[in-house]
Amino acid sequence: MIGTALVGTGHLVRLALRRDRILLPIWIFFLVFTTLSTTTALEQVYGTQESRALLGVTANANSAFLAMLGPLHDWSSLGGLVVWRWGVFAGLFVAIMALLVVTRHTRAEEEAGRTELIAATVVGRHAPLAASVIVAGGASLLIGVLQAVVLIGKGLDASGSFAFGLSTASVGLVFTGVSALTAQLSENSRVSNAIAGGFLGVTYLFRAAGDAAGESGPQWLTWFSPIGWTEHVRSFADNRFWVLGISLAATVLLVGVSAYVVTRRDVGLGLLATRLGPAHGRIGTPFGLAWRLQKGSLIGWSLALFVVGMIYGSVAQAVGQMVEDNPTLGQIVSKIGGADAMIDAFFATITQLLGLITSIYLVQAVLRLRSEETSFRAEPLLATPVSRWGWVASHAVFALVGGAIVLAFAGLGLGLVHGVQTGDVGTVLPKMLGAALVQLPAAWVVAGVALLLFGLFPQFTGVSWAVVSASLVITLLGPALQLDQWVLDIAPFTHVPKYPDIVAGPLLWLSGVAVVLVAAGFAGFRRRDLTT
Amino acid sequence: MTSAISVSGLVKTFGPTRALDDLDLDVQTGEVHGFLGPNGAGKSTTIRILLGLLRADSGTARLLGGDPWKDTASLHRRLAYVPGDVNLWPNLTGGEVIDLLGRLRGGLNKQRRAELLERFELDPRKKGRTYSKGNRQKVALVAALSSDVELLILDEPTSGLDPLMEAVFQDCINDERERGRTVLLSSHILAEVEALCDRVSIIRNGHCVETGTLAELRHLTRTSISAELAGPPNGLTSMDGVHDLVAEGNRVRFEVDSDKLDLVLKQLVTSGVRTLTSQPPTLEELFLRHYEDAK
């Protein structure tokens, strides 16, 4: 039976590779190239044993670093530094790649009705799923192997290089499995991606919360995260290959369950059934429609960032604890202003991170405009008295105002928990709210670029994601890689004042830049043709 | 009579392709105007320019006395549009979409909405993603037909409907004509166009090649005849209106201009008819013929 169920898989793999002939090489190049450039940069900056040792002490004592990047297990070698600086991000990126690829070739195809076309030919029931798993899993493995080859080429230890490369690949494999399963649940590929992406976010946070306070914190949480598992491999330090067995087992289990679900449902339908809805509608304005389309995402992001804020807020106290627990660390920290300064630095990093994450929400809200246009759903609306600007504004407001709401929830989460722990909600809460909201102008600039692209160069609206990635990579990795200042200055988040020293100047001119970008986007869309 | 739509010398290019090439179109107020042309002829492009969704490179287009690009909002209050490819929001019900589009146009006629839902046998409680192509088109049709507007612009509105629903659609359009509405109906279905349209425009490669009433276009149509006769055919070859005659013994195949059909059949009977098949021209044949004539 399995034999016939997989008939045609080879053809579908070729079809998928053909459709992804541009996308996949970009992902692979991006990840392997970043591995190489990170290694080269770290080699230059931390060439000496002393500089690495100093980094080792500070990295493992700085909870902002710990939360974002995880612990630095081995600072005696360049490889250990690469794993620390890049490992978590490589895992995140490869996971995103895998889940997008799987959904694109399973649920999105089914939703578009193309699976029906394929299923009517000589193709086994499991072939579409198998093909997408092979492509996404294969790409993950290829990235892992190429990463190892690049590191060996830089003269690093071979088994450490492979431990790291396979760790990265393992995250891709697990999320291949995760999205194989989420693709079965909903009839909507957007929902499928959202569930898989949400799972990625939550497990990243488990890891972050588990790592943030070092040994004083809840380290066991990291065992509940596929990215956490890669940390436990301790590449270059101990090379514990056996941990990868967990990832492999999880992948096999997830793919197996998905394959079982495939046999239990009809083509085109999900496990979550669709019910009948109201016969009469209450929506009567473009904004009403945009609210209906965007509210799920806004509420989801707000809640998610509220929870993220609470998690980081709860870790802040342990950051102070960590300093008190460790006398040598205490001495170092007292030079920079003591435990309080360390907590401030922690919040400065965390709020920046929250701002960067929120910019993803903003761009996604803007890009809804483009997907409405290309799916011909904008056309009937714009054939009514709804004006071009009115329609754009109805969605843009979710990016511009919605972004403020999401950030406010993040600040609320931070402030509430940290306030309760320090026993002073009254002063802490407004401070944290402010620290989160100052990120908004920078996020507006990123959203503004997306709107500008939509208005003037609709075919290139997708480049917005490259802008988001560049802003993330430059902001998060740039300083440690000692990139030139002008490169850092490209990223809007570089200019956001660091908590607790908030000044208005940069916020005003960032807002000004955002206004110009948004206005250009509006003006461009008013003047252009609708295109697909 | 005034023109509801008046287009002249319209040009629109997409990169290297010239989608509209000096297009003229004139739709009188109160008429049902058929808009015919093969795939890619430029019908949808014309309609999108009339709706202000695309901007013409050159030429003029007037819609209900206004400029379709500049006066979008005020013009759109007076028209309703059914796209050729109806895509609904996956998680909105058909009823919600009908009411949304109706409200955006400034309100819809509730009684007509209910009546149309019944006539089209459409369940408005289903979610957008669960409708078939035909049912998605019904949603757009109900939304358009239950609005009180002067002009209906319909882009191949029946391509997914079954014959029963096609008949319902034709009834509805006849009702609209009686209410004094103007209808621009783009279509591939010649029978539909013949049943509904007062005048027709045929476009090809972005250019209007023929426009007029159906009677005026009748000279374009030919009927294919194939017959088995009692003896050899006599006198057919020399007859006016007979084309592409093929005779093999007692069998003949030929095409005849519709206005000469009566005379030619009389001549055929003189040879004694055993079997007879006659086929009305398909839309494609009509076009092919037209271009042969135009050469």
Taking the CA of residue A504 and the nearest CA in chain B, the distance in Å comes to: 41
For range B39-49, the mean pLDDT: 91
Which residues are CB-contacts of A365 (< 8 A; sequence separation ≥ 6)? Answer: A294, A297, A298, A395, A396, A398, A399, A402, A403, A447
Q: Give Cα separations from A384 to A366, A370, A400, A435, B108 (angstroms).
A: 22, 19, 25, 43, 13
Contact B103 A111 (CB under 8 A): no
> Least CA distance to A286: which residue of chain B?
B104
Contact B77 A283 (CB under 8 A): no
Count other C-beta atoms under 10 Å from residue A155's C-beta.
Answer: 11
- Residue A83 located in a structural domain: yes
Query: B54 to chain A: which residues are within 8 Å by CB?
Result: 529-530
B148: contact with A, CB 8 A cutoff = no
SS3 readout for B139-164: HHHHHHHCECCCEEEEECCCCCCCHH
Q: Dmax over Cα atoms in chain A, in whole Å?
A: 72
Question: Which CATH code is given to the segment(s) B3-218?
Answer: 3.40.50.300
Side chain identity, residue A238? D
Which spans in A106-156 are helix H?
107-111, 114-119, 127-153
Taking the CA of residue A188 and the nearest CA in chain B, the distance in Å comes to: 8
Contact A382 B52 (CB under 8 A): yes
For range A508-518, the mean pLDDT: 96
CA–CA separation, A493 and B182 (whole Å): 56
- Residue A143 located in a structural domain: yes
The predicted complex's ipTM stands at 0.79
Contact B90 A527 (CB under 8 A): no
Taking the CA of residue B287 and the nearest CA in chain A, the distance in Å comes to: 29
Mutate to test the interface with A, among B70, B100, B156 (most CBs of A within 10 A): B100
- Residue A489 located in a structural domain: no
Contact B85 A376 (CB under 8 A): yes
CA–CA separation, A341 and A346 (whole Å): 8
A399-419 pLDDT tens trace: 999 999 999 999 999 999 898
Backbone angles phi, psi at B240, to 5 degrees: -70, 135
B77: contact with A, CB 8 A cutoff = yes
Asked if the model's pLDDT at residue A53 lies above 70, the reply is yes
- Residue A363 located in a structural domain: no
Contact A285 B104 (CB under 8 A): yes
B152-192 pLDDT tens trace: 999 999 888 898 999 999 999 999 999 999 999 998 777 88
Lowest mean pLDDT among A167-176, A309-318, A408-417, B245-254: A309-318
pLDDT at position B243: 85
pLDDT at position A5: 81
Query: B80 to chain A: which residues are within 8 Å by CB?
Result: 383
Q: Is A348 helix (H, G, I), strand (E, B) or coil?
A: helix
> Least CA distance to A382: which residue of chain B?
B53
For range A305-324, the mean pLDDT: 78
pLDDT at position B294: 46
- Residue A319 located in a structural domain: no
Query: B48 to chain A: which residues are within 8 Å by CB?
Result: 379, 530
Which of these, A367, A364, A294, A372, lies nearest to A530 by C-alpha position?
A372
Contact A380 B89 (CB under 8 A): no
Tokens 């007879």 locate to B276
Q: State the pTM of this model.
A: 0.77
pLDDT at position B295: 42
**Domain tally, chain A:** 1
Contact A385 B90 (CB under 8 A): no
B137: contact with A, CB 8 A cutoff = no
> Least CA distance to B141: which residue of chain A?
A380
B98-127 pLDDT tens trace: 999 999 988 889 999 999 999 999 999 998
Q: Are residues B108 and B123 in contact, defined by beta-carbon separation less than 8 angstroms? A: no
Find the CB nearest A280 among B95, B130, B140. B95
Average pLDDT of every residue of chain B: 88
Query: B85 to chain A: which residues are within 8 Å by CB?
Result: 376
CATH class of B222-279: alpha beta
> Least CA distance to A296: which residue of chain B?
B91
B212-269 pLDDT tens trace: 887 777 666 778 888 998 888 878 888 888 888 888 888 999 888 877 888 888 888 8
- Residue A322 located in a structural domain: no
CA–CA separation, B91 and B127 (whole Å): 5
% of chain A with per-residue pLDDT over 70: 95
Count other C-beta atoms under 10 Å from residue A485's C-beta.
Answer: 9
Query: Domain limits of chain B?
Result: 3-218, 222-279
Which residues are CB-contacts of B288 (< 8 A; sequence separation ≥ 6)? Answer: none
pLDDT at position A1: 47
Contact A274 B129 (CB under 8 A): yes
Confidence of residue B68 (pLDDT cuts 50, 70, 90): very high
- Residue A13 located in a structural domain: yes
CA–CA separation, A230 and A88 (whole Å): 8
Taking the CA of residue A469 and the nearest CA in chain B, the distance in Å comes to: 29
Average pLDDT of every residue of chain A: 88
Q: Characterize A54-75 residue by residue with b for buried, 16 or more Cβ atoms within 10 angstroms of its Cβ, and e for exposed.
A: ebbeebbbbbbbbbbbbbbbbb
Residue A33 belongs to domain spanning: 1-270
pLDDT at position A268: 67
Q: Give Cα separations from A89 to A86, A495, B69, B130, B213 (angstroms).
A: 5, 23, 48, 39, 68
A317 or B219, greater pLDDT: A317
Side chain identity, residue A204? Y
Is the Cα torsion angle A452, A457, A461, A462 positive or negative in sign? negative
Confidence of residue B271 (pLDDT cuts 50, 70, 90): confident
Asked if the model's pLDDT at residue A145 lies above 80, the reply is yes
- Residue A227 located in a structural domain: yes
Q: Give Cα separations from B143 to A382, B63, B137, B169, B192 (angstroms).
A: 15, 21, 10, 13, 21
